Structure 1
Amino acid sequence: MRRRGSSGAGMEFDYLEGFAAGDMQVVTEVLALFQGQAEGWRVKLEAPGEGWRDLAHTIKGAARGIGATALGDVADRAERGDASMAPELKTALDATVADIEGYLTRIGGG
């Protein structure tokens, strides 16, 4: 069974749990790192400029690495598109972070 966040962001927590061999300390640490990175990405998404594709690529890789499928898909389209996709990517990022926050609260890690 895949556990998805309440916002429908497509966060597959079982993917990360499996990758971490069920070590919930590792899961919470990885998600905390992602949340920290997301803060910086949000700022850059407010005024995307040069390096836009690199930013989208970075978000795509990080998202796919933790099982944030929907965010990874949006970031992939953004990477192949242009900076006009920044609002959509920011919305997907915000939804994923909200899912992570809810998940961490449910497991007692947030």
Structure 2
Amino acid sequence: MARRDLSGAVDFTVLDRMTGGDDAISEEVLGLFVQQAAMWSPMLDVRAEGWRDAVHTLRGAAAGIGAGELAEVCQAAESAGKAVAPAALDHVRTALDAALADVAAWRHELMLRGLKG
């Protein structure tokens, strides 16, 4: 993966503003996002107790790195009624996959920059 693989699911200018453009801090924040996603994604099922907590946590993490669409679908899922929650969680999983793909491509870019600099 490389920068050319970015889909736009994450606006990395948000991350750059938060980290002051420091690649090492960006890498750390993105690593934490990936860990959060791995920890909370198994709970993205209405049968899992605490699925709303998982969505809430992912929403905050997404907003912090610039994954705006993921944050939006998390917010919608968090307030979804039981009848529409399964579909809302499908949207969360799809947006999370897109954000994670962008994060992987960006982390690859950061690694390449580290090798050059």
TM norm structure 1: 0.84
Residue aligning to 2:115: none
**CA drift at 1:48:** 4.2
Between structure 1 and structure 2, the one with the greater Rg is: 2
Moved over 6 A (4+): none
For residues 103 and 33 of structure 2, the distance between their equivalents in structure 1, rounded to whole angstroms, comes to: 9
**CA drift at 1:36:** 1.0
Question: Do 1:48 and 1:86's aligned partners in 2 also have CA atoms closer than 8 Å?
Answer: no
Partner letter of residue 7 of structure 1? S
SS, match of residue 44 in structure 2 = helix
TM norm structure 2: 0.80
Residue aligning to 1:27: 26
Residue aligning to 1:75: 74
Residue aligning to 2:105: 102
Partner letter of residue 96 of structure 1? A
Give the 5 Å matches for 1:1-110: 6-9=6-9, 11-46=10-45, 48-81=47-80, 82=82, 83-84=85-86, 85-108=88-111
Question: Do 1:5 and 1:99's aligned partners in 2 also have CA atoms closer than 8 Å?
Answer: yes
Question: Do 1:4 and 1:13's aligned partners in 2 also have CA atoms closer than 8 Å?
Answer: no
Partner letter of residue 41 of structure 1? W
Flag the 1:46–1:52 CA change in 2: closer, same or farther, 3 A. Answer: closer
For residues 5 and 108 of structure 1, the distance between their equivalents in structure 2, rounded to whole angstroms, comes to: 15
Partner letter of residue 13 of structure 2? D
For residues 54 and 23 of structure 2, the distance between their equivalents in structure 1, rounded to whole angstroms, comes to: 28
Unaligned runs of 5+ residues in structure 1 are none
**CA drift at 1:86:** 1.6
